[in-house]
Structure 1
Amino acid sequence: MGKIHVHEFITLDGSFENPAFTMPYGFTDRMGEVLGGITGSCDGILLGRNTFEMFGPAWSERSVDDDPGAPFFNDTTKYVVSSTLDEATGWQNSEVVGGYDPDKIRELKSSHDLYISGSGTLVRALLRDRLVDELHLLVYPVVLGSGARLFDGLADLPLTLVGTESFDNGVVHLSYASTA
């Protein structure tokens, strides 16, 4: 049985919608190591349509010289959850699995360790349906007061804190495991 590993860049007030808030803080080498540790055990990427459409142009032209994460993002199979796309074009190794269906996700999870970044609507549905095994929040020391919030609409979501790490730029990594 595989796992679903979620990684999100998030503000103190839970906003994740526009990751531009991360820019003033930079991206430390240690943050890259942490994300590499999360992706290292994964053999599939699960994405919602919006994130797929944003990530595809950003990652498809990158090489390992541009970013050490490029081989993972480009070579790994991307499973796109979308009820509006018929095919996933423009980024190698991508396929549409259809609209959100928890049973389809369980089937994928049964044979793959899946990584998710962004994809807030999808992540909320997965959290609601207790399909997330690991939730990795990189919390930035900023309050935006606007934007979509990761936990909007969720209630009674028991999680167990399994790790914390603070980085030199003020960002904190909080790792949670699902208790469901």
Structure 2
Amino acid sequence: MGKIRVHEFVSLDGSYEDPSFTFDFGWTDAMFERMGAVTSSSDAILLGKNTFEGFAPAWKDRTPEDDPGAPFFNNSPKYVVSSTLENPEEQWQNSSVIGGYDADRIRELKDQHEGIYISGSGTLVRALLADGLVDELHLLTYPVVLGTGARLFPDGSDKLTLSLVESTTYDNGVVHLVYGPKAA
């Protein structure tokens, strides 16, 4: 069974809605290397509808010269959790809709792939975490308080206990926290 690896950009106050707050910090070589390892250990992408609709126009025409991640994002099969999205292949190559959230359908995808990468898609990520389907939660935590924006874990979220697997501080002040399921 493959692993689901989630990657999120978050501010210190938990906002993840608009990752443009990350631009001021840039990417260090170590960040590129680590996130490249996360994507290279995945052979599929799983996204919620809103994230898909933001990613498709941003990634579909990128080349390796524009961004070293372009081949992964453009060539990998992309599964969209949505009961309303139509014709995703017209928006971004190798994309298909798998219907509304269904934990059993996600388990089937885990069985079919070595690894599945998710970015953004907060509603989907919260459901996956609640169902114990996330193997690695990668939080790139930026040293900024935004005071606005949707939070990854908004007020009213159910309690969730995870285990810290790894932490790395990069030269630009970003902290990469990797969490896994709570240790038994």
Matches within 5 A, 1:114-125: 114-125=116-127
Select 2:167's aligned residue among 153, 164, 167. Answer: 164
Report how many residues are paired.
180
Q: Counterparts of 1:28 and 1:90 in 2: how far apart (Å)? A: 31
Q: Counterparts of 1:31 and 1:60 in 2: how far apart (Å)? A: 23
Deviations 1:105-161 (A, max 9, x none): 111112211000111111111111111110000000011122111112433312111
Match of 2:143 in 1: 141
Match of 2:45 in 1: 45
Q: Counterparts of 2:55 and 2:98 in 1: how far apart (Å)? A: 17
Match of 1:30 in 2: 30
Q: CA RMSD in A?
A: 1.2
Paired letter, 1:105: I
Return the TM-score normalized by structure 2.
0.94
Q: Counterparts of 2:157 and 2:149 in 1: how far apart (Å)? A: 16
Is 1:86 the counterpart of 2:89? The answer is no
Q: Counterparts of 2:29 and 2:49 in 1: how far apart (Å)? A: 29
8 Å CA contact 1:128–1:154 kept in 2: the answer is no
Is 1:65 the counterpart of 2:73? The answer is no
Q: Counterparts of 2:117 and 2:150 in 1: how far apart (Å)? A: 21
Q: Counterparts of 2:50 and 2:159 in 1: how far apart (Å)? A: 27
Give the SS at the match of 2:152.
coil
Q: Counterparts of 1:142 and 1:65 in 2: how far apart (Å)? A: 30
Match of 1:106 in 2: 107
Q: Measure how far apart 1:33 and its partner are.
A: 0.9
Match of 1:19 in 2: 19
Paired letter, 1:116: I
Q: Counterparts of 2:93 and 2:151 in 1: how far apart (Å)? A: 30
Q: Counterparts of 1:168 and 1:109 in 2: how far apart (Å)? A: 34
8 Å CA contact 1:10–1:16 kept in 2: the answer is yes
Paired letter, 1:14: G
Q: Counterparts of 2:150 and 2:30 in 1: how far apart (Å)? A: 27
User: Runs in 1 of length 4+ with deviation above 4 angstroms?
Assistant: none
User: Structure 2 regions of 5+ residues with no counterpart?
Assistant: none
